[in-house]
Amino acid sequence: MPFNGRPKTLIAPSTGYPTTRLRRPRQADWSRRLVAENALSVNDLIWPVFVHAGDEPRIPVESMPGVMRYSVAELAEVAREAADLGIPVIGVFPYVEGELKDAQGSYAVADNNVVCQAVEAVKNAVPTLGVMCDAALDPFTSHGHDGLLEDGSILNDETVEILVRQSVLQASAGCDIISPSDMMDGRVGAIRKGLDEAGFQGVLIMSYAAKYASGFYAPFRAAVGSASTLGSASKSTYQMDPANSDEALREVALDIAEGADMVMVKPGMPYLDIVRRVKDTFGVPTYAYQVSGEYSMIMAAAERGWLDGERAMMESLLGFKRAGADGILTYFAVEVAKRLR
């Protein structure tokens, strides 16, 4: 914007060294804080949590140091702690036992499945905490794909029908935000319509709008038990090619047109350019998912003493804010919230 009728560039640093010294404001903590352009707040955090149907309160996830699979009862407890720390939302991800999986992912739409139990328990314990659930079949299918598989292909429209049922079921259990993470075409519009017809006009949709076929999801797949079912199969016919950037804008545009309230870019750190483009182009609430592989890389290097884990954690999250994200899904959420208090 012009200022006093002159373009900003002309009134920006015009003299240069030695009059202008950019080190001057960096000289003390107070001055660095005064000129800081971005800040991370507890309000920016979404905490993804894993839940299992058994009684064991906490089962450590080997591929993600410090991360647990909680029982439903324990999840209600830790959800309360998260809310007390000021975290606005948790995302519930199920670990599903092998015998409950089939090719159709039937358990995803089964009444009172572990996701429903978890959502109900959390909403009963902490009604003020937002709860978000994925719409996708990968934790539930015997082949580990996010959709229905026929002759080696993932069926789009048939999958969308199931995702609508899954979304309505989760909304009935009390879920506040449905997050379609499957990357089928048209699913956001179909889910919006399904939710509205079932009376859930108030349930939000945060779409995984630009979700890339990434190698950084591996530790998560071990956590939800889809690593063994998926094997070496690829999700490249529905998730995005890491080579693409313009295509992400088309994905986001369609999801907004179909009714997404918020959009997400995933993974996070290798895709900060996409976060920035999405935010600048659309100006909608934009989120980034710092995925399991990003988390585990930092944790593993910290465990070896190769980097200062806490510092890397805070710096990585600030990077999302700088890129324009309104919030971050991160397995560090509780640690960060404690630090920010």
Ligand X SMILES: NCC(=O)CCC(=O)O
Which residues make beta-bridge pairs with 266?
Answer: 211
Alpha-carbon distance of 86 to 103, in angstroms, equals: 39
251, interface contact from Mg ion, ligand X, none, CB < 5-8 Å by kind: Mg ion
CB of 151 to ligand X, least distance (A): 25
Instruction: Name which of 138 and 258 has its Cβ closer to ligand X.
Output: 138
Q: Among 220, 238, 287, 320, which residue sits at the site for ligand X (rule: CB under 6 A)? A: 220
Please tell me whether residue 217 binds ligand X under the rule CB under 6 A: yes
211 tagged catalytic: yes
Q: Are 149 and 103 in contact (CB under 8 A)?
A: yes
Candidates 78-86, 249-257, 274-282, 286-294: pick the segment binding ligand X (CB under 6 A): 286-294
Tell which residue, 74, 233, 206, has the closest CA to residue 136: 206
Contact present, 167 and 204 (Cβ < 8 Å): no
Catalytic, out of 123, 211, 279, 321 = 211
Query: In the numeric block, which tokens belong to residue 79?
Result: 């959800």
Q: Residue from 251, 324, 331, 332 that binds Mg ion (CB under 5 A)?
A: 251
Sign, Cα dihedral of 12, 17, 22, 26: negative
Judged by CB under 5 A, the chain residues 215 through 234 that form the site for Mg ion are none
Distance CA 173, CA 120 (A): 6
- How far, in Å, CA of 287 to CA of 272, rounded? 11
Binding-site size for ligand X (CB under 6 A) equals: 7
How many other CB atoms are found less than 10 A from the CB of residue 338?
Answer: 11
Q: Which of 181, 207, 239, 316 binds ligand X (CB under 6 A)?
A: 181
With 0-12 / 13-18 / 19 or more C-beta atoms within 10 angstroms meaning exposed / middle / buried, residue 285 is middle
- Pick between residue 19 and residue 232 the one whose CB is nearest to ligand X: 232
User: Which sign does the torsion angle of CA 190, 193, 197, 203 carry?
Assistant: positive
> Which listed range, 24-32, 48-56, 66-74, 245-253, lies at the site for Mg ion (CB under 5 A)?
245-253
Minimum distance of Mg ion from residue 183's CB (angstroms) = 6
- Does the N-terminal peptide bond of residue 57 adopt cis geometry, omega within 30 degrees of 0? no
Question: Measured between alpha carbons, how far is 110 from 123 in angstroms, rounded to an integer?
Answer: 19
* Partner from ligand X, Mg ion, none binding residue 181, C-beta < 5-8 Å depending on class: ligand X
Among 11-19, 28-36, 291-299, 302-310, the segment contacting ligand X (CB under 6 A): 291-299
Q: Which does 134 bind (CB under 5 to 8 A by kind): Mg ion, ligand X, none?
A: ligand X
The yes-or-no answer on residue 266 being catalytic is yes
Answer with the entry of ligand X, Mg ion, none that 120 interacts with (C-beta below 5 to 8 A by kind). none
- Residue 170 makes contact with ligand X by CB under 6 A: no
Total count of residues recorded for the chain? 341
Q: Which of 266, 285, 273 is nearest to 323 (CA)?
A: 273
251 annotated to bind ligand: yes
Structure tokens at 224: 């939800």
Spot the catalytic one: 123, 235, 266, 279.
Answer: 266
- CA dist list (Å): 80 to 73, 119, 123, 224, 272: 11, 13, 10, 22, 31
Residue facing Mg ion at closest CB distance: 251
Find the shortest distance in angstroms from Cβ 148 to ligand X. 17
51 binds ligand X (CB under 6 A): no
Q: Which residues are near Mg ion by CB under 5 A?
A: 251
Residues annotated within a binding site for Mg(2+): 251
Q: Which residues are near ligand X by CB under 6 A?
A: 134, 181, 217, 220, 291-293
Residues marked active site are found at 211, 266
